[in-house]
Structure 1
């Protein structure tokens, strides 16, 4: 029996044709996504569901989707899909992370030109019959410094366009390697350097806890007088109130925004300023981009339903049903080791080496490596998944090495060691899976430790001196941070020590700062898994 796919949002006829050519029955109902009751009524008949943003794939919809195997989102954002509920039901969720890249990059460039030459204001004035030629004095783009925050898939396209426009392009991106920067023709810089030097600042980073408010009031105050700010990435990357004040004072010469903290943006602090250009989240709105993502999602879903091939899945790696039971606990371990490294490291990654020892080395290690790399990248790149992670790493010039050894340490049947080399240092973390199937961390930077991975932990590196543990624990207690487990390790008496502490809730930044101030503390990091 041929697989059946329901298309509940507007997708191009070409995408429908791809499904049919691959022997898949298609029910094309582009307005159905707006009617959740009708969708719930019929979803049980289908193996696949192709959507854009209008359809909400909730847990209630998934409960009714008794035959559903795959949801395909034509576009990058999957916030309209309940990922945990889909995963629990074994439903693959795919997106198309690269289909909108050129379109979004071009929109950023278009907004840069609009700002430089005051095109929207000049157009409105001219069409009103005013002919105010002397009012609209612009600036040239050539030889200006273009500062790019986030030089990934979209940011690198903007960088190439900026170089082509004879701009001097500088980029802040912790994952951008010097080699990749050289290939793009950009100068890799720290954020404060970019703020001080850039004539135009454009943002191309996802919204994560690390990037939220990256252009805060404090950072905006560090910018060069006369700077122009462009945001086609995500609302929340810029403090809109602070930006408005700097626009009013004249410190910031202009701003162009396609995304806002609250959308649809009916009101906004930036609205009404003469040097602000706003568009209604048009980054992906070209006919080419809409066609690209539609064709891409149709191809991906067809491959999965007819051949079992998985690509751009946000909730599952590329493994077969037979391999899944053995791989699952090690996938969790690899992701947790990667997440630990990604949260602790704060400089550009050059190389990642993953060593598989013992029984785990006989499994499909590509899926494990993808999980580890996704874990490393996800703290700063929220949209990365286990399928796209290796490609994203390659795009950023990160070298990935895999090593398999037949025998593990005598104490363990299987061992995974993750070593991350940055432009400043090298970090390693090792872990295993015990018979309970839960991942455990057994060494950090060659210091032995034994810690189960918990949702919230505190990592501390310190000098091995008497009194530290008491001061540390007292500090947490005084801040009402409850300790669940406390794992310790050291390389030698009086040498370097580490603590990995499970706590029962979030750790305020003020508490982390107090821990940092304790004598002998080298590094403190609150971790979330």
Structure 2
């Protein structure tokens, strides 16, 4: 079987998968194809992936709902990168006998928090506008005045490992740091060097807010029109977590009215459509979901995913997320 195995490496949008790991041993045992572009639809994904036995997706870029799993008759293994993927239907994989393996993610929290800090600073000091002015042959003309963050208030929504890092960065800048999430206690906030606040108080008092929640039914739309209306004029909203944490229509409306600034690394639809209004609004700083994407992390992701695939081909799968998918021995 090994010589007939077909492996698809998905979501290589930056064209760095091949350089991030040593694929030679795997390519000696199987056909390995790299997919550098996103699929336009589930139909396209089903059509192009139907002939593959093993898929190696990058985090949550390609979604795998039950409807897609059912259309991949040869699929035996999804070697996902990172510890979990909210867009992969694990129950459907298990029911179909598709094994799912994962990888570690040692530095992704630090990388994402660092990008959140970068977005905050870029928005506060109009870094993209300044860069664009110089590249257009201007200098300070039209750039506008920035904000001083020292002495301002940072609201951190979600004080887990990434949010706690962001709180530390805020303190290092001389900011007052408030924190809120549904299960946060004043004691836990204090341990992370933040002050606990209600959601309403955090929104009303913060000069900048940064979201660090896991997307779930409870957190989807945690910032809607009512919440955005509570923000101070000119407040900066940083989101490096998941796009749907903010109601997109309400966000676009607030930006069009010039009430806030948004610094975003994540979006409801990724890649962001070419005609999306966020692309043309001047009071935004946008990056293409780069939060976890550093060299060290990609080397871990692809290196461990290759190990997982080799172990599966050897009949001794490792880092298995759904061991119940393995058929019992006869």
**TM superposition score normalised by structure 2:** 0.76
Counterpart Cα distance in 2 of 1:218 and 1:80: 28
- Describe the shift of the 1:6–1:230 C-alpha distance in structure 2 as closer, same or farther (beyond 3 A): same
Q: CA RMSD for the aligned pairs?
A: 3.8
Q: Is the contact made by 2:224 and 2:250 (CA closer than 8 Å) also made in structure 1?
A: yes
Alignment of 1:33-48 (within 5 A): 39-41=49-51, 43=53
Question: 1:8 aligns to what?
Answer: 8
| Structure number with higher relative contact order (C-alpha < 8 Å, ≥ 6 residues apart) | 2
- Describe the shift of the 1:132–1:32 C-alpha distance in structure 2 as closer, same or farther (beyond 3 A): closer
Counterpart Cα distance in 2 of 1:320 and 1:123: 57
Counterpart Cα distance in 2 of 1:216 and 1:80: 22
- Describe the shift of the 1:72–1:119 C-alpha distance in structure 2 as closer, same or farther (beyond 3 A): same
- Describe the shift of the 1:16–1:37 C-alpha distance in structure 2 as closer, same or farther (beyond 3 A): farther
The reply to whether residue 101 of structure 1 matches residue 101 of structure 2 is no
Find the partner of 1:296 among 285, 298, 304: 304
Q: Is the contact made by 1:4 and 1:25 (CA closer than 8 Å) also made in structure 2?
A: no
SS, match of residue 162 in structure 2: helix
Q: Where do 5+ consecutive residues of structure 1 fail to align?
A: 323-529
* Structure (1 or 2) with the larger CA radius of gyration: 1
Q: How many residues align?
A: 308
Q: Is the contact made by 1:18 and 1:299 (CA closer than 8 Å) also made in structure 2?
A: no
- Describe the shift of the 1:115–1:13 C-alpha distance in structure 2 as closer, same or farther (beyond 3 A): closer
Find the partner of 1:71 among 59, 78, 82: 78
Shift of 1:213: 1.7
Question: 1:387 aligns to what?
Answer: none
Question: 2:42 aligns to what?
Answer: none
Question: 2:125 aligns to what?
Answer: 117
Question: 1:60 aligns to what?
Answer: 71
Structure with bigger strand share is 1
Once the two structures are overlaid, the 10-residue window that deviates more, 241-250 or 224-233, is: 241-250
Counterpart Cα distance in 2 of 1:228 and 1:268: 20
SS, match of residue 144 in structure 2: coil
1:221-252 deviation line (CA, Å, top 9, x unaligned): 11223311111222222233433443454432
The reply to whether residue 168 of structure 1 matches residue 171 of structure 2 is no
Counterpart Cα distance in 2 of 1:26 and 1:153: 39
- Describe the shift of the 1:209–1:283 C-alpha distance in structure 2 as closer, same or farther (beyond 3 A): same
Counterpart Cα distance in 1 of 2:113 and 2:129: 23
1:426-481 deviation line (CA, Å, top 9, x unaligned): xxxxxxxxxxxxxxxxxxxxxxxxxxxxxxxxxxxxxxxxxxxxxxxxxxxxxxxx
Shift of 1:117: 0.5
SS, match of residue 230 in structure 2: coil
Q: Where do 5+ consecutive residues of structure 2 fail to align?
A: 40-44
Counterpart Cα distance in 1 of 2:234 and 2:48: 54
Q: Is the contact made by 1:50 and 1:73 (CA closer than 8 Å) also made in structure 2?
A: yes
Question: 1:182 aligns to what?
Answer: 190
